[in-house]
Amino acid sequence: MSEKRLLKPEAVQEVHLETDILIIGAGNAGCFAAIEAKRLNPNLKVTLLEKAHIDRSGCLAAGMDALNTYIKKGKTREDLVRWSRDQVGGGPLREDLTLSMAEYLNRCIEEWEEWGLPIKKDENGEYLARGKWDIAIHGESMKVILAEKVREYNCEVINKVAATSYLVDEGRVVGVTGLGVKDGKFYVVRAGATIVATGGAAGLYKPYTNDGNDCHHQIWYSPFNVGTGYAMGIRIGAEMTSFEMRWCAVRTKDFNGPIDTISVGYNAAMINGRGEKILQTHYSHLGGEAAPRFIRANAPMDEWLAGRGPTYVDTTGMTPEQVKDLKEDYLNERPTFVQFLAARGQDITREPIEVYGSDPYIVGGHTASGYWINNDRSTTVPGLFACGDVAGGVPNKFVGGCAAEGVLAAIGAVQYVAGLTDRGHIDPEAVKSEKERVYAPMVQMAEVGDGITPREMEERLQRLMDEYAGGVHQFYRTDHHRLEYALKHIKILQEQVRYLIAEDVFNLLAAHEVIDRLTVAEVLVHHLLYRAETRWPGWQTRADFPEKDEKLNCFVNSRFNPETGAIEVFTRPYEKVVD
């Protein structure tokens, strides 16, 4: 599409579609939701709206070498809740949601295997364990396998369209609008029920790998997941939970890749610059090697602060056969890590792999950040369901749990559609207003010819969050005054959104990605401000409140008030349902 055709919104071609169930995001959770919806009612029209291409989209685009949650023989759903509770330091988490997720967990994984996913087996023919809840897989093509299954069930897949906003009628969601990221067209999709499965938010913070050249998104999480699913919900007043429970993890230094493959798969301990086993030597009182995830994630950073860095995973005891197996594992998930080692000429039996903390992410598949949902995965806004990384309350669900949540969201959405007496009304004025908002950066470029580029605003946001809202360069620490500063300057950036410019569709998408990140960042800072304690060091460290406050063993939730424009923050009790 030429730039000229996009100069004015009224000249942009509109595409109007209608479906029974719309799924925003064709990643893992979205695909399982689509398949389950068609199984429950093959007569329903099920449509997936995907920003990239379903074959290689979402967090599984490059594959995986393990599934991190599977209930093995001798274990129960309640055991999974207890383990997950321990990983978040005793809570809070939604134990009711964790139990319902666990009910479908194994079914999803076993079906995936039936569809073609190779899962490794032990000598007894059981899934090969890799740690307490993990199983090892050959998962390089796991997303492709899932995409083929979606097509088999005759789901409609619309690739290369990024959702921009929900359409709301009398308080319920009746569809979405979207931007065609290749053709530049404006999409209006009317739906009986909508399931959001867009994934979490990356790129809020400056990663340590950003060297000021072109490394903005050399990050651990999918760089295409920018928090749009959260931002759309925030804008219509959906309730959000636990944004302050950020996901910060130990990652391979200068590559930003996962280390569980090494530390869990091959029992390689983290060591410091003195050669001490970090967790055994300095964190035995918190569980040592079995310490909660946030302790293990924060430990290398504390070693640096204590003058005991750099930090490593000790691979020097590995045999040549183990090194070969390790590299094969990485080829299933992060093939470029093998190239990274080769480029350095690094023999990991002689030189351990250096590790460091990642930049923080908002990702409900690992921590509990996301939409506040019910057991059927309905949100606080009628007609809208959430699953996967964008759904809150269930930390440690990972790939298998996100798939199970897709199934649960489909069950809820199918029941909701069956009970509808009408599909609601789409307001033409709301569509017109949203279209003007979406194409505004192109209008700014056409009429003024100058302004703020999406990259410039992104750089400012990432540095602001890093320095004032507990980024990796501040060793995850923040305090009240820094957070107030961050909020003030996020507001300034939001006021400057009207100066954003885009000279093509690619930059128009980038403009909306940074707008959505601003929305998520604002809510995140409000959550960090409210939790005046340090509950999960690293994930959430308040330098001015270094201790845990048991009065705050509850959920911190928020809701944007569209009438006042304010973010309202409040608490909900933590209800323990498993002893």
Q: Positive or negative, the Cα torsion across 514, 520, 521, 523? A: positive
- Beta-sheet strands, E only, within 397-444: none
Looking at residue 197, its amino acid is: A
Rounded-to-integer distance, Cα 428 and Cα 180, Å: 19
Looking at residue 543, its amino acid is: A
Helix (H, G, I), strand (E, B), or coil: what is residue 15? strand
Rounded-to-integer distance, Cα 425 and Cα 423, Å: 7
Helix, strand, coil distribution of the chain in percent, nearest 5: 40, 20, 40
Tokens describing residue 27: 């990643």
Helix (H, G, I), strand (E, B), or coil: what is residue 23? strand
Nearest to 368 by CA among 574, 208, 223: 574
Asked if residues 195 and 21 have their Cβ atoms less than 8 Å apart, the reply is yes
Asked if residues 159 and 187 have their Cβ atoms less than 8 Å apart, the reply is no
Looking at residue 161, its amino acid is: V
What is the number of alpha carbons within 13 Å of residue 372 lying toward its C-beta?
Answer: 20
Rounded-to-integer distance, Cα 368 and Cα 390, Å: 9
- Choosing from 130, 246, 251, 293, which is the catalytic residue? 293
DSSP label of 247: B
Looking at residue 497, its amino acid is: V
Label residue 497 exposed, middle or buried (CB < 10 Å: 0-12, 13-18, 19+).
middle
Nearest to 50 by CA among 70, 75, 23: 23
Check whether the bond before 352 is cis (ω within 30° of 0): no
Q: Is 130 tagged catalytic? A: no
Q: Which residues are catalytic?
A: 293
